[in-house]
Structure 1
Amino acid sequence: MIKNINMPKKCKFILNEWKKTLNLTNYEKKKFETLLNQLDFQINKLEKKELQISVYGRVGVGKSSLLNALIEKQVFKTDIINGNTKKIKSYKWGKVFKSLNKIELIDSPGIDEINKHKREEEINFNYLLDTDLILFVIDSDITRIELDSIEKLLKQNKPILIVLNRCDQWNERETKLIISSITKKLSFYKQKVEIALVASSPREAKIKLDGTVRSYQKSPKIDFLKSELQDIIDQSGELLLCINSLRLADQFYKLLKENRLLKKKEAAQSLIGKYAAFKASGVAINPFLMVDLFAGIGCDSALVIQLSQLYGLEVGGSAARELVKKLSLQNSLLGGVQIGIQITLNFLKHILILASPLTGGLSLAPATPVAIAQAALAIHATKRIGRHAAYKFLISTNRKDGRPRLMLDYLLRKNTDLRIMLGDFRFLASKSNKNKKHLLP
């Protein structure tokens, strides 16, 4: 675990400096006003060292009773009828933790709440994302809807602690089988999953003298969870605040890039078309392959820089050349089949041009379609480079504009021993990136 001394101050400084470099337009400030306010709220929490912990899970798994057991008060309403929590409720936890000034516990409606409107569900989920640690409560073997919700939260880099409630209902063997099944279904996480066993509102059946059976409330069994929370918050409370602030900043930056790519799509297409035409005419006229290749690299580098300026996503000259090099290799302009085609066409064109004095200029006629073929290849390659460059702007992170993502990655790499599930799932994010192709020129 890295030392968290002054981490909130460092994180806050980086975020505030990063916001200044974005050069947001008035349109962008208005469009993303809600998200920017959320980010300011998170930075304020970071500065004040105020942590929010929420419970989440299906209807009737005992979320409210779990919170009541933690604070040792009947603050959150419970009932034998499932789905008692209809609105988000919060309570300031009086327990003292190291390095933090305030802990807020938040109760939320169930995932599968009956008659819940989609808009209301979205609002509740977004509120959940603002919290810094999620106690994901289940009361049996994990279900498909719970797995989907966990995956959705992990995509957002949300810290999750799995809480298995009502463990008093099973014997030791049954408990082991349930935990084994849960762990197997969460195997996509690829790390050991910590599961806290609790009984937030256990009851015991007793037979009365008249033969009737009554159920009596017993003391909650949550000592292990209390101990886990104490350790997690004491050791990583400030880190969780940093992660949440950086997560939101990274989310905002992704949406900003998507908006800029979409808004500038037509202008980008026009710019790529101009460079394609310029490169095609040069390739068709010039008989020397190496000149074509080096001129093409220079042209593509200029295109990438122009695109970066158009989108307002800066890329320096050396970074642009490196990007072009990678893109050129990817689309096989400088490697594979296409380079072979270029060499063959160029060699054939060169022979036909040299032979023109001997043929009275007749050999120049066949050279024309060869030049046209080369020009077509140049246009195709330039368009692909422009499209790939835009895609790289969408998914890549540079040192200046992508500081929240870079710092978030650093914190996650240096804190692999956290006893929570924390979503650093690039393979999950890549799936959503593939659905963004409509943003590309």
Structure 2
Amino acid sequence: MPIAPPPLGAPSSAERSELLLRQWRAELRLSDRERAALGPELKALDQQLRALAQRRLRVAVFGRVGVGKSSLLNALLGRSAFATDVAHGCTRRQQREPWPVAVPGLEGVELVDTPGIDEIAAHARQRLAARLALGADLVLLVLDGDLTSPEAEALEQLLAAGKPLLLVLNRIDCWPAEEHDALLASIRRRLPAAARPLPLLAVASAPRQAQLLEDGRVRSVPLPPQIAPLRTALLELLHGHGALLLGLNGLRAADRFGLQLHRWRLQRGRTAAQGLIGRYAALKATGVAANPLLLLDLAGGLALDTALAVQRVAGGGADAPLVQLELQGGRQRRSALPAT
């Protein structure tokens, strides 16, 4: 079921999302104590809203140490901008570079590198995954073999946050050609049910070939990157739905902050979350009704039915979200509300 095109001259989904969020942010009333207690969360929210206003979409790689995340981004860029190390992962914090591609509805695309998820303790890994899910508009989960426990855990967290993602099997050149099909099938068997419709893209970001020298020694010679499936899938996705991805991530950021604020107030004896939303007379004017259905086709491989339900946070109910995003992948519907 394709999305019906908006009437000529009507604002796009991304523009309606931005208008809604601008109004919500302008009407958000916080005490000094709330600003101090939720300072990092408020900063993350405002950063996401600025990215939406500036039409800057962020694509982040995520995965274990040494799976070739940095070399994959270098291959997409066509230059060595992200540091790589053959023996050990050398990314210790998020790094980002602009990706020089023209995408309708966007002013820019950033590629974001992240530390390996197995470099840090399990609790810290969960916090990092949550921050990534909030900040990135699209995630590339990079593997270099069969799915491991840390990768499965990270994937579950991203799915629970309703994060659009692509699965990338890097270093396919390290596996014999006759084993490729068996490896891909094994990965799919280990995926959570909700992730099985996701495209699984096999690439080689920094392939090498053994070369026999005249003196009998063997040396490793670099070959050009083989990332055409990933590049094609990314460009198709961004050209088709880039601005929409940006808008949805802004709505998720507002929802996450609204839940955190509501819980913080309830924990301090507030029986009502007054003033959190304000009046929403502009909802219908912007074309964002109570439950519009947006169908997102991720690179032809995953249909995401994203139902956007905006509801007033009213007294008492700790489970009353500002914006509820539900993600349907295949036949399984998952809540897109991230844990706090």
Same fold (TM over 0.5): yes
Residue 395 (1) aligns with residue 304 (2): no
Matches within 5 A, 1:236-275: 236-264=241-269
Partner of 1:233: 238
* Aligned counterparts, 1:153-172, within 5 A: 153-172=158-177
- Change beyond 3 A, Cα 1:313–1:155: farther
Aligned residues: 295
1:424–1:167 distance in 2 versus 1, CA, 3 Å: same
In structure 2, the residue matched to 1:178 is: 183
1:106-150 Cα distance to aligned partner (Å, 9 max, x none): 111111126x79769846862563121111111000101100011
Contact 1:9 1:47 in 2 (8 A): no
Q: Deviations over 1:375-410 (max 9, x none)?
A: xxxxxxxxxxxxxx94xx12234xxxx2x32xx44x
Of residues 195, 198, 204 in structure 2, which corresponds to 1:193? 198
| TM-score (normalizing by structure 2) | 0.77
The one-letter code of the counterpart of 1:425 is: R
**1:90 has 2:96 as partner:** yes
What amino acid sits opposite 1:181 in the alignment? S
Quick check: which one's strand share is greater? 2
Taking the aligned partners of 1:92 and 1:173, their CA distance within structure 2 comes to: 37
Note the C-alpha offset of 1:311. Answer: 4.7
Give, as a single letter, the amino acid of the residue that structure 1 aligns with 2:180.
T
Residue 88 of structure 1 contacts residue 124 of structure 1 at CA under 8 Å; is this kept in 2? no
SS for the counterpart of 2:225 is coil
Q: Which structure is larger by alpha-carbon Rg, 1 or 2?
A: 1
State the distance in 1 between where 2:39 and 2:88 align. Answer: 37
Residue by residue over 1:245-278, the C-alpha shift from the partner in whole angstroms, topping out at 9 and shown as x without a partner, is 111111111112211221117xxxxxxxxxxxxx
Q: CA deviation at 1:225?
A: 0.7
Q: CA RMSD in A?
A: 3.0
Matched residue, 2:308: none
How far 1:154 sits from its partner (Å)? 1.9
Secondary structure of the equivalent of 2:232?
Answer: helix
Contact 1:133 1:158 in 2 (8 A): yes
Instruction: Indicate the structure with greater helix content.
Output: 1
Q: Relative to structure 1, is the Cα distance of residues 12 and 93 closer, same or farther in structure 2, using a 3 angstrom cutoff?
A: same
Q: How many Å separate the matches in 2 of 1:124 and 1:32?
A: 19
Spell out the pairing of 1:398-413 with structure 2 (5 A cutoff). 402=322, 404-405=323-324, 408-409=325-326, 412=327
Which residue of the partner structure matches residue 312 of structure 1?
274
* Matched letter for residue 224 of structure 2: S
Q: Does 1:108 align with 2:120?
A: no
Secondary structure of 2:40's partner?
Answer: helix
Change (3 A) 1:232 1:78: same
- The code of the aligned residue for 2:77 comes to I
Partner of residue 18 from structure 1, selected from 24, 34, 42: 24
What stretches of structure 2 of length at least 5 have no aligned partner?
A: 277-314
5+ residue gaps, structure 1, are 266-306, 315-388, 418-422, 434-441
Q: 2:334 aligns with which of 405, 415, 425?
A: 425
After superposition, the C-alpha distances for 1:125-183 in whole angstroms (9 at most, x for unaligned) are 62563121111111000101100011112222222111100111223441111111211
SS in 2 for 1:134: strand
SS in 2 for 1:73: coil
Structure 2 counterpart SS, 1:425: strand
Is contact 1:56-1:110 (8 Å) kept? yes
Q: Distance in 1 between matches of 2:92 and 2:169?
A: 22
Partner residue in 2 for 1:46: 52
CA displacement 1:69-128 (0-9 Å, x = unmatched)? 1111011111212112223211111122222111111111111126x7976984686256
Aligned positions of 1:338-417 closer than 5 A:
390=316, 393-397=317-321, 402=322, 404-405=323-324, 408-409=325-326, 412=327
Q: Secondary structure at the match of 1:56?
A: strand
Shift of 1:19: 3.5
Percent identical among aligned pairs is 33
